Amino acid sequence: MPRRKGAPEVNAGSMADIAFLLLIFFLVTTTIETDAGLDRMLPPIEPPDTDVIIRQKNIFTVNINKNGQLLVEDQLMDLKDLREAAIAFLENGADGSCNYCKGRRDVSSSDNPSKAIISLKNDRETKYSTYITVQNELVGAYNDLRNREAQRLYNRDFTDMESEYLNPETPSSIRDDLKDKVKRVQDMFPQKLSEAETTSN
């Protein structure tokens, strides 16, 4: 019997078909997910030990009714004006201790940014989309003020610095540097957004 010359060649023509099959399988079973949103902290369930007395003028009340209308400081307001009103309240600085505020120093509004509290109330029948829009505007008001101060101090937007700080791919040397900056700007305008339980009337 004559010996064959070498091993017979394997036909690789169907390799592409197999790879296509795998590709289609992965295309079908996977999704590119949208994972971004508004970060919020809920208040702890146990009440604080000491009763904190907050003066009425330091609270900025926002009420949303079931039709999506806004009642801000007991006055009907359009959603588009909410951000400006919140900014004006936050940097009012009535007691003069806040030297970077550019508010009107109205004595009937908030004392300084660290005392200013925004209180958000909504009805049980408020639509979620309206609620998110209001949340977005209030967070936006804080971000606008923080961006302004970050621009003044570090020539950079706060939101930009924060996202670089939170990104796990940022090298730790840069992150340590950013940590203090982010903390400093955050402390200038601490986010105090309280959410009361919803009412049903």
Partner 1 sequence: MAKFAKKKDGDLPAVSTASLPDIVFMLLFFFMTVTTMKDSSLLVENTLPNASEIKKLEKKDRVIYIYVGKPTREYQKVFGTEPKIQLNDKFASIDEVGSYILAERAKKPQELQNVLTTALKVDKNANMGLIADIKQELRKVNALKVNYTTYEGNAFNNLQ
Kindly list the residues in this chain that would bind partner 1 in the complex (CB under 8 A).
12-13, 15-16, 19-20, 22-23, 26-27, 29-45, 68, 79-80, 122-133, 135-137, 139-140, 143, 159, 162-163, 166-168, 195, 197-198, 200
The least distance separating partner 1 from the CB of residue 165, rounded to whole angstroms, comes to 11
Residue 122 and residue 135 in contact, taking contact as beta carbons nearer than 8 Å: no
Which of 34/56 has CB closer to partner 1? 34
**Is the Cβ of residue 1 or residue 42 nearer to partner 1 in the bound state?**
42
Strands 59-64 and 117-122: parallel
The encoded tokens of residue 51 equal 């009763």
- Least distance from C-beta 132 to partner 1, angstroms? 4
Which amino acid makes up residue 187? D
Nearest-approach distance from CB 179 to partner 1, in angstroms = 16
Region of 111 on the Ramachandran plot (φ > 0 left; ψ -120 to 50 alpha; else beta): alpha
Instruction: Please identify, using beta-carbon distances, which residue of 131 and 154 lies nearer to partner 1.
Output: 131
CB of 1 to partner 1, least distance (A): 33
Shortest Cβ distance from residue 136 to partner 1 (Å)? 4
What distances in angstroms separate CA 148 from CA 46, 72, 122, 141, 152, one per listed residue?
A: 36, 24, 30, 11, 6
Neighbours of 9 (CB within 10 A): 6
Nearer to partner 1, 19 or 107 (CB): 19
User: Which is nearer to partner 1, 35 or 51 (by Cβ)?
Assistant: 35
Question: Angle CA(71)–CA(75)–CA(77) in degrees, nearest 5?
Answer: 65
